[in-house]
């Protein structure tokens, strides 16, 4: 698949992660821990530039082997507002969007803008006919993003709890 390195999405820009982003990424995660820890198994008190660098290396490898396309999201001032990605982990013909938003930048529509832009980019790829967003039922904010981006809920299924705020019910949304 051939995703662009940069995607303009209304009030934000999505661009490929770069090694020099590690410090800013770690700071954003640290500032957002109260909101991330309940739902993101990778978020923890010790998340620092080294861990962020590992994520960026994995993101770079994902582009190289066409399994995931992760983007840093920046507002028009160039401030990191979150991370958004497309992942080839749910089967043929579909990609899954994963994301998190810096706590200081919620409520501005950035997640919806990014999800919509990634959905458009995904559906332009040959062989991709649907895009999926999954989240635990205890995280209704993720469901609200999916709904505002035009996704529709398709299933609720039990799943393994991997983070302390989860209730073990996975909600799946699809577009179209």
CATH number of the domain bearing residue 41: 3.40.630.30
User: Could you list the pLDDT tens digit for every one of the 176 residues in the chain?
Assistant: 999 999 999 999 999 999 999 999 999 999 999 999 999 999 999 999 999 999 999 999 999 999 999 999 999 999 999 999 999 999 999 999 999 999 999 999 999 999 999 999 999 999 999 999 999 999 999 999 999 999 999 999 999 999 999 999 999 999 99
Whether residue 78 lies inside any domain: the answer is yes
Whether residue 51 lies inside any domain: the answer is yes
Residue 39's pLDDT is: 98
Whether residue 120 lies inside any domain: the answer is yes
Residue 160's pLDDT is: 98
Whether residue 58 lies inside any domain: the answer is yes
Residue 33's pLDDT is: 98
Residue 159's pLDDT is: 97
Helical H runs in 7-109?
A: 22-31, 33-36, 49-64
Per-residue tokens: 155: 């299933």
Per the structure, the complete domain to which residue 53 belongs is given by 6-131
Whether residue 137 lies inside any domain: the answer is no
Whether residue 1 lies inside any domain: the answer is no
Residue 1's pLDDT is: 93
Provide CB contacts within 8 A for 1, sequence distance 6+.
Answer: 66, 69, 88, 125, 126, 128
Are the CB atoms for 172 and 155 separated by under 8 Å?
yes
Whether residue 164 lies inside any domain: the answer is no
Total number of domains constituting the chain = 1
- What is the pTM (predicted TM-score) of this model? 0.96
Whether residue 154 lies inside any domain: the answer is no
């Amino acid at each position: 698949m051939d995703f662009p390195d940069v995607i303009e999405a209304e009030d934000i820009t999505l661009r490929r992660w770069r090694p020099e982003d590690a410090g800013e990424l770690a700071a954003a995660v640290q500032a957002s821990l109260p909101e991330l820890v309940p739902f993101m198994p990778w978020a923890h008190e010790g998340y620092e530039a080294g861990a962020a660098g590992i994520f960026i290396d994995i993101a770079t490898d994902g582009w190289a082997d066409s399994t995931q396309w992760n983007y840093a999201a920046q507002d028009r001032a160039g401030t990191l507002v979150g991370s958004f990605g497309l992942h080839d982990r749910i089967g043929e013909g579909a990609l899954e969007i994963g994301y998190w938003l810096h706590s200081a930048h919620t409520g501005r529509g950035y997640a919806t803008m990014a999800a919509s832009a990634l959905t458009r980019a995904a559906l332009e790829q040959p062989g991709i006919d649907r895009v999926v967003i999954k989240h635990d039922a205890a995280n209704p904010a993720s469901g609200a993003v999916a709904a505002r981006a035009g996704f529709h809920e398709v299933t609720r299924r039990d799943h393994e709890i991997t983070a302390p705020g989860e209730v073990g019910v996975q909600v799946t949304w699809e577009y179209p």
